[in-house]
Amino acid sequence: MEKVEQRLSKKELRQIWKRWGFTHLSSMSYEKLQAHAWAFSYLPFAEKYYKNDPDAKRRLLLRHSMFYNTEPQTGQLINGIVASLEEEIALGGDVPEEMPINIKTTLMGPLAGIGDSIIQGIIVPILLSIGMGLAAGGNALGPVFYLVSYGIIGPLISYLCFMNGYRLGVNAIDVIIGENAKRITDAFNILGIMVVGGLAASNIALTTAIKIPMGDEVQKLQDVLDGIFPSILPLGMVLLAWYLLTSKQLTATKVILVLTVISAVGVVIGVF
């Protein structure tokens, strides 16, 4: 069959990015998770390069309909790498058709770890803390700030990852996997823990009303706790929630109900 020699234009690259970036979670199954969006994003690619080669088009869509799951924004780096490989395959380059599958399988795990640490561990908590701070006094700007800011930052990270993945090709693998990736992931995990700890200390309001008799006077237990470990009660509630979610496998709704009951009972009996 006749091969199309023209490389992907900026418009076509943006089309692949946009299709994955805004549909990655729109059609999911337990068997394939995010794979449906991959196949959808490469339909224009198939029409460009394999319009007159139905068998090659079928193989392209088949290899991008296999199980796939990673963090969507930073995961666009993989999509960019794969786009460059698929382009070489379509132009008759020395790239086997199995390579895009191997790249996706190899990189989706490391990118999920790095992406979750950055997006869910740092960016989302920071934006939410700012939004909650604005909304604390009833200001409607709080939720608007979060929606607008994440609506800009999320697609921006997604776009930059895709374009840099396409530009670097397989050379990007050296940055993603190996010891360097582990150090990056560990660093972001530590930073994410610090962010969550700061949010817990500043946004969870929990104090004790217990007073300790000391001769003719009484000492507030809260003052004693603050002198030993400031915000230890909010920390305790966070650790309890983490324990219930991870060890007891409770849903988030059930954890909220448990914490509500503990707080209500504590207030009634005079502990909180």
Question: Region 26-39: what's the mean pLDDT?
Answer: 81
Distance CA 185, CA 107 (A): 14
* Residue in 90, 99, 93 with CA at minimum distance from that of residue 44: 90
Residue 2 has pLDDT above 50, yes or no: no
- Residues 218-251: tens digit of each pLDDT: 888 888 888 888 888 888 888 888 888 888 888 8
What percent of the chain has a predicted confidence (pLDDT) above 70?
88
Query: CB of 100 within 8 A of CB of 85?
Result: yes
Q: Average pLDDT of 30-58?
A: 86
pTM beyond 0.85: no
What pLDDT is attached to residue 149? 92
Question: Virtual CA dihedral for 18, 21, 25, 27, nearest 10 degrees?
Answer: 20
Query: pLDDT band at residue 195, thresholds of 50, 70 and 90?
Result: low
pLDDT reported for residue 1: 46
Give the pLDDT confidence of 64-74 residue by residue, as tens digits: 888 888 888 88
Q: Is the pLDDT of residue 181 over 70?
A: no
* pLDDT attached to residue 152: 92
Residue 184: pLDDT band with limits 50, 70, 90: low
